[in-house]
Structure formats: C-alpha cells, structure tokens
Amino acid sequence: MRNFTSLELAFIGDAIHTAFVRNWALTKFDKPINNIHKICSKLCSAVFQASVLDLLELTDEEKEIVRKARNAKPKHQAKNSGSAEYKKATAFEAIIGYHFLSQNDERLNYLLNKSIIGGGTNAI
C-alpha cells in the first residue's frame, strides 16, 4: 500500500463507513427511504463518529493514525459539529480507510460493527 495522507485515508474511510451504515439500515428497518436516510445521517455525522472513536480500544498503530488525522488541516469543517468533534470523526474515518486499503477485513468489520452497536443506536 502506498503512503496515503491522513485526509486521503479519511476520504475513503468516510465512503466505506457510509456504505456500511446504509446497507445496515436498509436491511434492519422497514421504513420509507426518507426515514432510513435520517437514520443514516445521524450515524454518519461527525458527532456520532467522534463518540464512537471514544469507545474503541485502539492498537498502537491505530493510535498513531488517530494522532496524525487529528492534526491534519482539512480545508473545511462539518456543519453541525465543533472543531474537536470534527477532528475525532476524521480520525475515525482514517482508521476505517486504513484498514480498508490494507485489506485488514477482520479488524475493519469489527470497527464498522462497533460503530453501529457500540456507538449506541439508541441515538437514532
């Protein structure tokens, strides 16, 4: 794997996490698509992703990815979160992107499932 920047890892991690959440919501709920979209929006928000990051037990390698991603300088900020939450969400997405690109499927699936179950879906 080439050396991706933290923001590149977060870019792909955001897409992977969003696809995972959408697939989960479509199979879990029998609701109109607008309701499913609202559920997915909450689970993919910077606020929710930041809360998930706080729950994870990270490896030393993942802690380093988090450190770099939180220190990255994105060109924009999320609409509905503060700077600290946005940086934590970027770090969470970077971990997802790292494991996806490294083809660490077992750890990736664990983290994605943890983002739904461990993140507390009572938020939806």
**Residues designated as active site:** 14
Asked if residues 89 and 54 have their Cβ atoms less than 8 Å apart, the reply is: no
Asked if residues 16 and 103 have their Cβ atoms less than 8 Å apart, the reply is: no
Q: Please name which of 62, 60, 67, 45 lies closest in space to residue 119, comparing C-alpha atoms.
A: 45
Asked if residues 109 and 16 have their Cβ atoms less than 8 Å apart, the reply is: no
Which structure tokens are listed for 88?
Answer: 């934590």
